[in-house]
Amino acid sequence: MSENQSVRARADQARARGQEVVAVIGLGFVGTAVAANLARARGKDGQAIFHVIGIERGDEAGRAKAAALARGEPPVYANDPKLAEAIAEAGQKTHNLDGCTELAQVACADVVVSCINLDLVRPVGRADELSVPHQGYAAAMREIGKHLRSGAIVCIESTLPLGLSDRVLYPALCEGAALAGRDLTQDPPLYAYCYERVMPGPGYLDSVNHFWRSYAGIDARSADRAQAFLERYVDVAHFPLWRHKTLRAAEMAKLLENAYRATNIAFIDEWTRLAENAGVDLFDIVNSVRVRKGTHDNMMFPGLGVGGYCLTKDALLAAWGAEELLEVEAALPFSRQALLTNERMPLRARDWLSEHFGGKLEQRTVAIFGLTYRAGVADTRSSPSEVLARGLLERGARVRGCDPLLSNWDEVPAAQLVADPRQALAGADAVVVSLPDAYWRERLPSLLRESPTPPAILVDPWNVLGDACYGELVRRGVRVRVYGRGDIPKPVKPS
């Protein structure tokens, strides 16, 4: 029996046992968590509710991901032990998790959940020259449409530009269905948008189904079907579902949520500079303002920047979708400016180092501690450290990167990845603490204390190492700079 026949036979057996068959398309950070979550869902009788088939692309990386899932191993790394446990249990005990690279296998499914990535492309420093190559996504929908069973629903969880569902994806799905001979007037495909809020980190798996979820359908039947599906595995007793009026409203909800957060982060940047110029500590100030619960308690602290796949693009998906698909005005000046402000934030650290070394970074060695986009998360996409490292390399500096979660740093191959923080520090001219991570708070102060030759300058944008460490370094002649802190004295030069 071929791989595809086996996948189909196991799905048929599962359906005969009463399980709902779900195909999850795209086994990246989102799809993996979704597939594992569905596989661990249990009914009142303790039995697995779903039989899950993860479907990836047929390229080398896609084949490796699908094969990992089929073996009972997570296709992506996450520092949430529950992920590997859920996938192993599904692979070895409940046998309700499969992996393959054949999109036609959606023919087995009652529900198709799409977690395909959708990138936004733009030149650095521009928020008005945008493109979203969505043809691949539309082609996948067309292919799904050709094979989708009557009565099955497609639920999209990817973050979509405004209007993509009703202008591109649903028409493509229908086109595929029509090509396969389906009568669209009698039996239109069911389609819903159920955006994902999964949060990488230690609570990765639970953030899919122990969290508020929103959805909308192309029509009432689709919305009802999506609701019934979500209710089977989301903890709706504690996290009630939110039904939006239209697909477009649900698309906008996701984009607004992330644009709001990106704008909050950008807003603090101008006050960071003001605090530095005025000689005050903005961290102390923000802490004092945050006591006003309900209106001010999510004010952001200064930091190196914002990274990851979502906050760096989602506001612009709204602008692109509005202008290109809906052909409506979408100036969005705050949101566009926010993304540009956030993008530039890491380069302030580079500029401080450059200023310290008289404008010359050539041959200076800079050790960067923390390379992923978020503390405790092994995802390096669009990390502020990448922007900083590239900026330093452009100016001729040597970059050493250190991160306990990484064994390679594909985005910045010219940087030297050093596993041992002691080795990273040895002989470094400058140090940047690039993540607000307790891991570095616990280790770096003593390593710096023990280091016979401290760096000439330490930049700690997130205020991680603390005043005791800064005081000690300043006494040893090290220049210490922290974003938003104008209160840290310069070292006294020996007379």
Ligand X SMILES: NC(=O)c1ccc[n+]([C@@H]2O[C@H](COP(=O)([O-])OP(=O)(O)OC[C@H]3O[C@@H](n4cnc5c(N)ncnc54)[C@H](O)[C@@H]3O)[C@@H](O)[C@H]2O)c1
Stretch that binds ligand X, among 2-10, 115-123, 223-231, 463-471 (CB under 6 A): 115-123
Cα separation, 491 vs 471, whole angstroms = 9
Of positions 11, 23, 28, 283, contacts ligand X by CB under 6 A: 28
Residue 301 neighbours by CB under 8 Å, 6+ apart: 268, 282, 283, 286, 462, 463, 484
DSSP 19: P
* Helical H segments across 90-185, by residue range: 135-147, 164, 170-179
Running DSSP on this structure, what letter comes out for residue 59?
S
| Minimum CB–partner distance for residue 19 and ligand X (Å) | 22
CA 334 to chain centre: 22
Task: Select the residue whose beta carbon is closest to ligand X and give its number.
Answer: 28
Question: For the chain, give me the number of helices (H) and strands (E)?
Answer: 17, 14
Instruction: Establish if 116 lies at the interface with ligand X (CB under 6 A).
Output: yes
- Tell me how far apart the alpha carbons of residues 29 and 167 are, in angstroms, rounded to a whole number: 26
In the shown chain, the binding pattern of residues 346 to 375 toward ligand X, with x for contact by CB under 6 A and - for none, equals ------------------------------
Q: Which has the closest alpha carbon to 159: 189, 137, 127?
A: 137
**Smallest separation (angstroms) from ligand X to the CB of 318:** 13
Contact range with ligand X by CB under 6 A, out of 24-32, 164-172, 232-240, 245-253: 24-32
Distances (CA, A) of 251 to 82, 122, 248, 261: 29, 21, 5, 16
Q: Give the contacts of 492 (CB within 8 A, at least 6 positions apart).
A: none
Stretch that binds ligand X, among 29-37, 168-176, 366-374, 392-400 (CB under 6 A): 29-37
Of the candidate residues 11, 21, 27, 194, the single one contacting ligand X (CB under 6 A): 27
Inter-CA distances, 35 with 98, 231, 322, Å? 10, 16, 31
Residue with Cβ nearer ligand X (107 or 361): 107
Q: Rounded to an integer, what distance in angstroms lies between the CA atom of residue 262 and that of residue 264?
A: 5
Output the smallest distance, CB 71 to ligand X, in A: 17
Q: In the bound complex, what is the minimum distance in angstroms from residue 407's beta carbon to ligand X?
A: 18
> Any contact of residue 200 with ligand X (CB under 6 A)?
yes
Residue number, 69 or 116, with CB nearest to ligand X: 116
Q: Which is nearer to ligand X, 11 or 55 (CB)?
A: 55
Shortest Cβ 117–ligand X spacing (Å):
4
Determine how β-strand 214-217 pairs with β-strand 242-243: parallel
Give 23 or 444: the residue with its C-beta nearer to ligand X: 23
Q: Which of residues 299-328 bind ligand X (CB under 6 A)?
A: 309-310
Which own/partner contact pairs does 404-412 have at CB distance under 8 Å and 24+ positions apart?
404/439, 405/77, 405/79, 405/372, 405/376, 405/377, 405/378, 406/371, 406/372, 406/378, 406/380, 409/371, 409/380, 410/380, 411/380, 411/381, 411/383, 411/386, 412/386
Greatest distance between any 2 Cα atoms in the chain? 89
Stretch that binds ligand X, among 53-61, 85-93, 351-359, 436-444 (CB under 6 A): 53-61
Q: If binding is defined by CB under 6 A, does position 251 make contact with ligand X?
A: no
Q: How many CB atoms lie within 10 A of CB 231?
A: 13
Type of residue found at 172: A
**Is residue 30 part of the contact set for ligand X (CB under 6 A)?**
yes
The minimum distance between CB 485 and ligand X, in angstroms, equals 30
Reading phi first (left if > 0) and then psi (alpha if -120 to 50, else beta), residue 46 is in left
Q: Which is nearer to ligand X, 313 or 336 (CB)?
A: 313
Q: How far apart are CA 320 and CA 248, in angstroms?
A: 14
Contact characters 131-170, ligand X, x per CB under 6 A: -----x---x-----------------xx-----------
Our finding on whether 80 is near ligand X (CB under 6 A) is: no
Among 89, 110, 196, 276, binds ligand X (CB under 6 A): 196
The reply to whether 29 sits near ligand X by the rule CB under 6 A is yes
**Which residue lies nearer to ligand X by CB, 173 or 473?**
173
Q: Which is nearer to ligand X, 55 or 458 (CB)?
A: 55
Residue ranges that bind ligand X, judged by CB under 6 A? 25-31, 55-57, 62, 65, 103, 115-118, 136, 140, 158-159, 196, 198, 200, 309-310
